[in-house]
Amino acid sequence: MNKGIYQHFSIEDRPFLDKGMEWIKKVEDSYAPFLTPFINPHQEKLLKILAKTYGLACSSSGEFVSSEYVRVLLYPDYFQPEFSDFEISLQEIVYSNKFEYLTHAKILGTVINQLGIERKLFGDILVDEERAQVMINQQFLLLFQDGLKKIGRIPVSLEERPFTEKIDKLEQYRELDLSVSSFRLDVLLSNVLKLSRNQANQLIEKKLVQVNYHVVDKSDYTVQVGDLISVRKFGRLRLLQDKGQTKKEKKKITVQLLLSK
């Protein structure tokens, strides 16, 4: 890889940039499309920059079906992608919700921690008051069907659904204006989540905080406008705007919140 391109990205992004370059080289060498595993929105953005830099076309499954996690096709100009090329299966998690409901956290924990399935093999987990679904790499469908028999105490099974029956992911964000002394991660968390600095530091030290899908364990990490911060058991927030300084030289900001209930 052209090492000069590293200077435009953070150190945390380098492993993914290297992987992205491997994928690009495969397309250049074979002159055939390459389909990535599921990647997060930050990785999708990086990959599209790389593809453009190296003159490759690319398309995301999110351009066909709205989702957070996507698969991306890298391809030469002759190829015209269709949604079926992304090899994604929408599976309904069938269960009785008479006494208990499945949550995103319960499903994710079971798949990753109990079944040991890598995050790159499945995409969005969708839940509403009555139903639950997961988007899966078609090649690994049998792995999920054989392994996912129970989530917590709830017996479950998987059934294929057309994407016309996909659960709509309706997230209600709200915006908040506030003043902070700095853009340090611990300062931002303590102000937004109404925690002491010590409590915010503990969350960071315990690796419960991610910025742009990377775990950040340094309290003095500087948050940039546009950064997405995820805090386990609290929810998500995004720094939307830096609106200058107050008369007392505090920083005026706008954040977008999606806090867990």
* Same domain for 251 and 194: yes
Q: What is the CATH number of the domain that holds 184?
A: 3.10.290.10
pLDDT per residue as tens digits for the range 75-91: 998 999 999 999 999 99
Q: H-type helices in the chain, by residue range?
A: 14-30, 41-53, 104-109, 141-147, 185-192, 197-205
Domain termination residue (choose one: 82, 100, 135)? 82
Show the CA angle centred on residue 115, arms to residues 109 and 116, nearest 5°: 85
* Same domain for 146 and 201: no
Q: What pLDDT was estimated at residue 248? A: 86
Q: Which domain holds residue 148?
A: 88-165
Show the CA angle centred on residue 256, arms to residues 243 and 234, nearest 5°: 130
* Same domain for 191 and 142: no
**Number of domains present in the structure of the chain:** 3
What backbone torsions phi and psi does residue 76 show, to the nearest 5 degrees?
-70, 165
Q: What pLDDT was estimated at residue 258? A: 81
* Same domain for 110 and 77: no
pLDDT per residue as tens digits for the range 192-214: 999 999 999 999 999 999 999 98
The count of C-alpha atoms lying within 13 angstroms of the C-alpha of 232, restricted to the half-sphere facing its C-beta, is: 15
pLDDT tens for the chain, 261 residues: list them: 556 677 778 788 899 999 999 999 999 999 999 999 999 999 999 999 999 999 999 999 999 999 999 999 999 989 999 999 999 999 999 999 888 889 998 999 999 999 999 999 999 999 998 899 999 999 999 999 999 999 999 999 999 999 999 998 766 788 999 999 999 999 999 999 999 999 999 999 999 999 999 899 999 999 999 999 999 889 899 999 999 998 888 999 999 998 654
Burial of 147 (0-12, 13-18, 19+ CB in 10 A): middle
* Same domain for 41 and 109: no
* Same domain for 93 and 77: no
Q: What is the CATH number of the domain that holds 31?
A: 3.30.1370.160
Q: What pLDDT was estimated at residue 137? A: 98
Using CA atoms, how far apart are residues 24 and 16, in angstroms rounded to an integer?
12
Q: What is the CATH number of the domain that holds 128?
A: 3.30.70.330
Read off the DSSP letter of residue 60.
Answer: E
